[in-house]
Amino acid sequence: MDSGTAIIRCDWANRSPLEQHYHDHEWGVPVYDDRKLFKQLILEGKQAGLSWATILSKMDTLCEAFDNFDPEVIIHYDDKKVEELLSNDGIIKNRLKVNAVIHNAHIYFKIVEQYGSLNEFIWRYVDHKPIINHWTTIKEVPASTPLSDQISKDLKKIGFKFVGTTTIYAFMQSIGMVNDHLVSCACYQRA
Active centre residues (catalytic): 22, 44, 52
How far apart (Å, rounded) are the C-alpha atoms in residues 52 and 114? 31
How far apart (Å, rounded) are the C-alpha atoms in residues 142 and 125? 18
Question: What is the greatest pairwise CA distance in the chain?
Answer: 49
How far apart (Å, rounded) are the C-alpha atoms in residues 20 and 18? 5
Give the three-class secondary structure for 149.
Answer: helix
How far apart (Å, rounded) are the C-alpha atoms in residues 119 and 177? 11
Question: φ and ψ at 131, to 5 degrees?
Answer: -85, 125
Q: What is the distance between the terminal CA atoms of the chain, rounded to a whole angstrom?
A: 14
